[in-house]
Homo-oligomer: A and B are copies of this chain.
Amino acid sequence: MSIFFQTRNKALQAQLAASGLDGLLVTQLANWYYLTGFTGESGALVVGADERPTLVTDGRFTVQARQETSGVRVAVQKGGLLESVGQKLKEQRFRIVGFDPQHVSVAQMRALRKAAGPRVRCVPAAGLVESLRMKKDTSELVQMRSAALLASELEAHAAKFLRPGLREFEVAAEIEYKMRKAGASGPAFETIVASGPRAALPHARPTARRLRKNELVVLDLGAILGHYCSDITRTFYLGRAPARIRGWYRAVQEAQAAAVAAVKPGASCGEVDAAARNVLASQRLDKYFVHSTGHGLGIEVHEDPRVAKGQTRKLEPGNVVTIEPGVYFEGVGGIRIEDDVVVHAGRTEVLTRFTRDLIEI
């Protein structure tokens, strides 16, 4: 097991001991990848006090599991997945095993309890691995820098090819094509290309609508590269933007810069959110900012910590968050600027690198 996986497993074992658990059942791909490097789509990991966790997976993935991991016991699933896991818990004499109730189905829990027998107690224990994942190590930051640079290059590429007449889904197809050609395993989420009045919808899916002259286009994209996600948004104007739009844009730009400046160890997530919101409020635009300022980013595109109103969690070195305030005007359009930001002890590192000015085309 590499030093990074060893460190992560040890940190988890310390958490288990502190929670009075002698084992943890890990049922999500992002979490077992983080702990072992296994990328198969089906399986479950059991972490105990023992140095070698047990990975149960089916015949389709066992060769892959052995290739991708080391220091892990790979067990071949017999019958249902949770049935096999329950048998392992029984054989290995676990007594109190945590599971994440949001990621285990009612049917899985029934199969698990039946196979594990009455001597194994399964108790809810949510978010243990997720809390470790918030603090990225150097191997993770290397991947995240590459993923963020790729996303930045795609915004720069868009600045060259966006033009009136293109359909929104053609723009998304072009972006995702370049992404894949650059080695990304895929987009981190469905690319958002929201033009004209559709730019007023923060979560718009690309449609057959054609881009038009004198309209805003919000382009929100991210790549999965080396198993880590990036997430960037830039806003374009097809033509020369009128004063009203420039004014809104400047307000969002100032709000975004204020929130990025507020990112530092010890600052609460709510304070970072407020930094953006207050700038918009000073220009009476806060009511058009209808979502949170940002979210954690890593193996998944939405992770802890949430950068939202009232969040008291304090930022720590190693956290990676998006900072993405925006304003949305029904029937008119929207503006959003988003970067990926790493918290370090003495400084803030912005991973995404492309102009934050309004891009007029």
- Interface residue ranges, A against B (CB under 8 Å): 60, 99, 101-110, 124, 126, 169-170, 172-174, 176-177, 180-181, 183, 185-186, 190, 203, 205, 208
Can you list 19 A-B contacts with CB-CB less than 8 angstroms, sorted by A residue number? A60-B203, A101-B110, A102-B107, A102-B108, A103-B105, A104-B106, A105-B106, A106-B124, A107-B126, A169-B181, A169-B183, A170-B181, A172-B180, A173-B176, A173-B177, A173-B181, A176-B180, A177-B180, A183-B208
Residue numbers in B under 8 Å from A170 (CB-CB): 180-181
Given contact pairs A60-B203, A102-B108, A173-B181, a sample of 8 additional A-B residue pairs in the complex whose CB atoms are under 8 Å apart: A101-B105, A172-B180, A173-B176, A173-B177, A174-B177, A176-B176, A177-B177, A183-B208
CA of A103 to CA of B103 in the docked complex: distance in angstroms?
10
A81 smallest CB distance to B (angstroms): 12
- B169 and A180 contacting across the interface, CB-CB below 8 Å: yes
Residues in B neighbouring A186, C-beta threshold 8 A: 190
Complex CA gap A101/B113 in Å reads 14
Ranked 10 nearest A-B pairs via Cβ = A173-B180, A101-B107, A177-B177, A101-B106, A102-B107, A173-B181, A106-B109, A173-B177, A104-B106, A102-B105
A308 vs chain B, min Cβ distance (A): 14
**A33 nearest CB across to chain B (Å):** 14
- In the assembled complex, the CB of A313 is this many whole angstroms from the nearest CB of chain B, namely 20
Q: Quick check: A105 and B104 within 8 Å, CB to CB?
A: yes
Distance of A134 from chain B, by nearest CB (Å): 20
A108 vs B174: C-alpha distance in the bound complex, in angstroms?
Answer: 39
| Min distance, Cβ A52 to any Cβ of chain B, angstroms | 27
Closest to A191 in B: B180
Closest residue of chain B to A103 (Cβ to Cβ) is B105
Residue on B nearest A205 in the bound complex, by CB? B185
Which of chain B's residues have a CB closer than 8 A to the CB of A176?
Answer: 173, 176-177, 180
Q: Which residues of B contact A203 (CB under 8 A)?
A: 60
Chain B contacts for A107, CB-based, 8 A: 101-102, 124, 126
For the complex, what is the distance from the CA of A183 to the CA of B181, rounded to whole Å? 20
Provide the residues of chain B in CB contact with A102, threshold 8 Å.
105-108
- The distance in angstroms between the C-alpha atoms of A211 and B177, with both chains bound, is 19
By a CB distance below 8 angstroms, the chain B residues around A177 are 173-174, 176-177, 180
Q: Which residues of B contact A108 (CB under 8 A)?
A: 102
* In the complex, residue of chain B having the shortest beta-carbon distance to the beta carbon of A39: B205
Residues of B within 8 A of A174 (CB): 177
Closest to A187 in B: B186
- By beta carbon, the residue of chain B nearest A173 is B180
Q: Which residue of B lies closest to A110 (CB)?
A: B101
Give Cα A102–Cα B106 distance, bound, in whole angstroms: 6
In the complex, how many angstroms separate the beta carbon of A77 from the nearest chain B beta carbon? 16
